[in-house]
């Protein structure tokens, strides 16, 4: 029985660590996107040679990063909605107020 409890506890810890890691990755990705946008704005006047090529590559990478951030945020939202629905089901939340309040607990 102890091993079952320990195993369940480690799953909870692992899930929490995974969630924290996902938040950190999303935050890091947002920071990279903001820095890339600033860099593009601040180098707007460089339109020749290597600057032009580098700016184009950065713009392409920025587009990919923005799309990935959107995908991560949508997946995170879907997980949060699923977890809230499961909590509503487990706790028998029937009215809208109870369901909304459960989402913030």
Number of domains present in the structure of the chain: 1
Q: Which two tokens stand for residue 11?
A: 């799953």
Q: What pLDDT, in 10s, does the model give residues 8-55?
A: 344 557 767 777 888 898 999 999 999 999 999 999 888 788 898 999
DSSP, collapsed to helix, strand or coil, labels residue 54 as: helix
Tell me which residue has tokens 């989402």: 103
- Predicted structure pTM score: 0.66
CA-nearest of 69, 43, 71 to 57 is 43
Q: What pLDDT, in 10s, does the model give residues 49-102?
A: 889 899 999 999 999 999 999 999 999 899 888 988 888 889 898 888 888 887
Supply the range of the domain harboring residue 98.
2-103
Helical segments of 43-95, H only: 49-91
């Amino acid at each position: 029985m102890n091993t079952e409890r320990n195993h369940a506890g480690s799953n909870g810890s692992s899930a929490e660590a995974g969630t924290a890691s996902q938040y950190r990755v999303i935050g890091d990705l947002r920071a990279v996107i903001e820095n890339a946008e600033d860099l593009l704005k601040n180098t707007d006047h460089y339109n020749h040679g290597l600057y032009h090529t580098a700016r184009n590559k950065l713009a392409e990478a920025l587009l990919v990063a923005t799309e990935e951030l959107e995908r991560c945020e949508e997946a995170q939202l879907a997980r949060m909605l699923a977890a809230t629905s499961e909590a509503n089901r487990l706790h028998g939340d029937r009215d809208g107020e109870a369901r909304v309040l459960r989402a913030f607990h």
